[in-house]
């Protein structure tokens, strides 16, 4: 084990994948000699050469179009979109080509080897265009996977599994944890399962569900609730698509309550899909309405970032309302 922050774990995963498979290549804006705006790709060009780690023009649609072509011809591309906010010019390529190429060609071609890395989320005073959480936009698209890690150990194992998975994966990295989250990470190669949630802590009275940086938020809220005698079960969803409805439903059937926390705006957020599914599966077990603690339905505000964020205090108050319903 080695102490790593999330950036170092991601960098280590890329080195591991590129060493193990010469078909793996990394590209995007400023990822080469500069090492990426967050330095996630530091030293990759020096170690593996300009043919396997290189800069692209500033065109997200072009980056993913190029990546689709590489993947369909047998390469293993890891394409970086510098910020999740700037993934939208590539939306057509991801939705209509990446996710559908296997189906439209009747299995003759596939973009299954493609992994798209992008940092998402707020908490860094990034304002409107460097703070968004767009995971729900892509959760509506069959034919791809969406993965979000909560700490360095998860980041390395999930990224290696994503690169090697036979489906295109959107790997979303919570940027406010890049240097803030530090933990023990194995130096050797390992993978963690995609599409499988993790029960981080067992509890009896309410199930708390989040992903990415918000897992730490619900953990803080759970500590506060424990002082009031409320036992919280904590679940990290890890994969948005496909999401582990079975693990979540089993937890809710035990506790009778569910609180979902995500940083994206509430309306149309992925918590809505989870709520609907859990209500269908667990209706007779519920002791209170399913609760959502989410970002506000506004463009991400720079001056009022703290008010926007679904923090541990909002979550704690929601836990008490849910349990005392």
- Measured between alpha carbons, how far is residue 287 from residues 229, 233, 243, 273, 290 in Å? 17, 15, 23, 20, 9
With tokens 């809505």, the residue in question is 272
Q: Is 130 a catalytic residue?
A: yes
User: Active-site residue among 29, 97, 130, 135?
Assistant: 130
* Neighbouring residues of 276: CB distance < 8 A, sequence distance ≥ 6: none
With tokens 């011809």, the residue in question is 73
Give the CA dihedral 159, 160, 163, 167, nearest 10 degrees: -80
Asked if residues 87 and 146 have their Cβ atoms less than 8 Å apart, the reply is: no
Asked if residues 296 and 266 have their Cβ atoms less than 8 Å apart, the reply is: yes
**CA-wise closest residue to 135 among 101, 85, 178:** 85
User: Active-site residue among 29, 60, 263, 273?
Assistant: 60
Alpha-carbon span 279 to 134, nearest angstrom: 24
DSSP state of 230: -
Backbone angles phi, psi at 72, to 5 degrees: -70, -20
- Measured between alpha carbons, how far is residue 139 from residues 15, 47, 53, 123, 280 in Å? 29, 35, 29, 23, 19
DSSP labels for 153-212? Answer: HHHHHHHHHHHHSSS-EEEEEEGGGTTT-EEEE-SS-----TT--EEEE--SSEEEEE-T
Q: Is 46 a catalytic residue?
A: no
**Residues forming the active site:** 60, 130
């Amino acid at each position: 084990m080695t102490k790593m922050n999330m950036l170092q774990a991601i960098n280590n995963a890329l080195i591991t994948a590129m060493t193990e498979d010469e078909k793996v290549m990394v590209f995007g804006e400023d990822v080469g000699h500069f090492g990426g705006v967050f330095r996630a790709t530091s030293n990759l060009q020096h170690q593996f050469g300009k043919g396997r780690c290189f800069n692209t023009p500033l065109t997200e649609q072009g980056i993913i179009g190029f990546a689709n072509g590489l993947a369909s011809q047998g390469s293993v591309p890891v394409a970086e979109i510098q910020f999740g906010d700037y993934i939208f010019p590539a939306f057509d390529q991801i939705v209509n080509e990446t996710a559908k190429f296997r189906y439209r060609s009747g299995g003759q071609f596939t973009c299954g080897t493609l992994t798209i890395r992008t940092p998402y989320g707020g908490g860094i005073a990034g304002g409107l265009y460097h703070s968004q959480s767009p995971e729900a936009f892509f959760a509506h698209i069959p034919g791809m996977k969406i993965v979000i890690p909560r700490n360095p150990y998860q980041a390395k194992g999930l990224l290696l599994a994503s690169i090697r998975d036979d489906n295109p994966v959107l790997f979303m990295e919570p940027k406010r944890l890049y240097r803030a989250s530090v933990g023990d990470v194995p130096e050797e190669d390992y993978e963690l399962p995609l599409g499988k949630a993790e029960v981080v802590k067992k509890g009896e009275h309410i199930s708390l569900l989040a992903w990415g940086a918000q897992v730490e938020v619900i953990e803080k809220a759970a500590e506060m609730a424990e002082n009031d005698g409320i036992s919280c079960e904590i679940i990290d969803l890890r994969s948005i698509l496909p999401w582990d409805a079975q693990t979540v439903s089993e937890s809710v059937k035990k506790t009778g309550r569910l609180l979902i926390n995500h940083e994206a705006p509430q309306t149309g957020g992925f918590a809505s899909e989870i709520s609907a599914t859990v209500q269908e599966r667990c209706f007779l077990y519920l002791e209170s309405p399913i609760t959502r603690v989410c970002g506000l339905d506004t463009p991400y505000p720079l001056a009022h970032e703290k008010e926007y964020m679904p923090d541990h205090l909002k979550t704690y108050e929601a836990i008490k309302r849910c349990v005392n319903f």
